[in-house]
Amino acid sequence: MSQRPLTVLFMPESAYGPTNQCVGIGDVLRQRGHRVVFAAEASWRGRLAPLGFEEDLVDLAPPAEPVEGEELDAGAFWKEFIRDTAPEFRKPTVQQLETFMAPTWGALIDGAKYCEPQLREIIARVRPDVIVEDNVVAFPALVTADAPFVRIVSCNPLEVPGADLPPAYSGLPIADRSEWDAFRAEYDRTHRELWSSFDAWVQEQGAPALPDLEFVHTSEHANLYVFPEEADYTDVRPLGPTWHRMDSSVRGTDAHYELPDALADRPAGSAVIYLSLGSLGSSDVDLMKRLVDVLGRTPHRYIVSKGPQADLYDLADNMVGAEFLPQTTIIPQVDAVITHGGNNTTTESLHFGKPMILLPLFWDQYDNAQRMDELGFGVRLATYAFTDAEMDAALAHVLSPSVRAAAAARGEAIRARDGLVRGADVIEQVGRAYADRV
């Protein structure tokens, strides 16, 4: 078998979650001597190269006119979209299908179509041995290239459907099927035309047809997904031999975080809690202000990831925070996590053995929140309707000795399986097979 260094091309979604997920695996591959190239969205320019990666970036829309002295925000494409769409998050998931989900798919599809010529040029320049996509829509250039294609699912694995599973993006319980059919019917009604048009375009580019009502291809070579065995759905929806579970994927590139004295020297009975609604969820300033108000009246101490609208609200006296924080070095130091239920934060909290309070906003966050709640790994609250008393009760539950001990034991088992290395191994094996062939 050839031992020459491989060239691995990553194409992550623009948001922080998928990009950070690819950064973690890419760093393992880079340390093994491989060349790692990111075809990320253009707002990541200058942020990946310092980590040892090559940047060969794409635009998902016509570039905005540059403003002198203004630096482009990483992930700006989606942060602006989510900020403008935030009122939709107050609706039940079935109502979000028409007014939020379908327009979001439409925006993703527009981006895929716009960058298709750029991706073909990048692939011709880079000449990858293996192409890795962590996205929810198809990019035909990635599956028609003369190199194997690996798909990463860094959303909740309900994205891989099954008849005996709740529909993805619904947040519906696995033990109660009463609303499944209605949700699926509404999804079909609101998405069928969009999917049909996109599928036709994908095939026009020379790529295979998409699975029914799915917007991305499954790889014939290897598919990775990030979700711990303890929370997985494979008991009711087994996966085929091309599917490989990464129980967790915690990047080792975050800076060290020193717990401030105000938090380290906290009063007896006071816990330290990490609050993050992600770079997208924290764009809802009114929601962040409500959380600051409610949590500011509890006896605990908080580390707050304030997000891209950080300048628009202040923290309470029992809080410290910043616009961006090194999440993977903070979570090990806290007692619990309050999260939007994004797959990265959810699986990182499980990895480090921390119980969660989950406040879902959109996409698979509802599925993660429901799964954590029904398994007893966390508490799901109504993001915009929770009462002070409900938050107090949730805090008391996740901070109880028995819940924290169970979470810690679970985390130890998950860490022992080293999902990050597992993911890198699979990608390397696929790339090696191709390198031997050529």
Percent of the chain with pLDDT over 70: 94
Instruction: Put the strands of the sheet holding 149-153 in their side by side order.
Output: 54-55, 35-38, 7-12, 130-134, 149-153, 222-226, 243-246
CATH 3.40.1260.10 fits 261-416, yes or no: no
From the list 243, 247, 227, the residue with the least C-alpha distance to 155 is 227
Q: According to the model, what pLDDT value does residue 306 have? A: 85
The rounded distance, in Å, linking the Cα atoms of 433 and 425 is 12
The rounded distance, in Å, linking the Cα atoms of 424 and 24 is 9
| pLDDT tens-place string over residues 410-425 | 999 999 999 999 999 9
Residue 107 token pair: 């925006």
Residues of the chain with CATH 3.40.50.2000: 7-247+418-437, 261-416
Q: According to the model, what pLDDT value does residue 1 have? A: 55
Q: According to the model, what pLDDT value does residue 322 have? A: 85
Q: Which CATH superfamily is domain 7-247+418-437 in?
A: Glycogen Phosphorylase B; (3.40.50.2000)
From the list 353, 420, 370, 360, the residue with the least C-alpha distance to 152 is 420
Q: Which residue has the tokens 């097979």?
A: 433
The rounded distance, in Å, linking the Cα atoms of 27 and 254 is 11
**With left for phi above 0 and alpha for psi between -120 and 50, is residue 60 left, alpha or beta?**
alpha
The rounded distance, in Å, linking the Cα atoms of 274 and 282 is 14
Q: According to the model, what pLDDT value does residue 79 have? A: 58
Which residues lie closer than 8 Å to 364 by C-beta, 6 or more apart? 155, 156, 158, 159, 168, 169, 341, 342, 343
The rounded distance, in Å, linking the Cα atoms of 119 and 148 is 15
Which residues lie closer than 8 Å to 289 by C-beta, 6 or more apart? 313
**Nearest 5 degrees, angle CA 330-CA 331-CA 335?**
115
- Radius of gyration of the chain, Cα coordinates, nearest whole angstrom: 21
State residue 356 phi and psi, 5-degree precision.
-130, 150
pLDDT, averaged in runs of 10, over the chain (438 residues) = 85 83 92 94 89 91 63 56 73 94 93 94 96 95 95 93 95 97 98 98 97 96 95 93 91 79 76 88 85 94 86 88 87 95 93 96 94 96 95 96 96 94 95 78
- For 47, 276, 326, the CA distances from 255, given in Å and listed in that order, are 14, 17, 6
The answer to whether the beta carbons of residues 284 and 361 sit under 8 Å apart is yes
Q: According to the model, what pLDDT value does residue 413 have? A: 96
Q: How many CB atoms lie within 10 A of CB 174?
A: 17
Q: According to the model, what pLDDT value does residue 206 have? A: 96
The rounded distance, in Å, linking the Cα atoms of 113 and 420 is 31
Q: How many helices (H) and strands (E) are present in the chain, helices listed first?
A: 15, 13
Q: According to the model, what pLDDT value does residue 434 have? A: 81
The rounded distance, in Å, linking the Cα atoms of 204 and 48 is 33
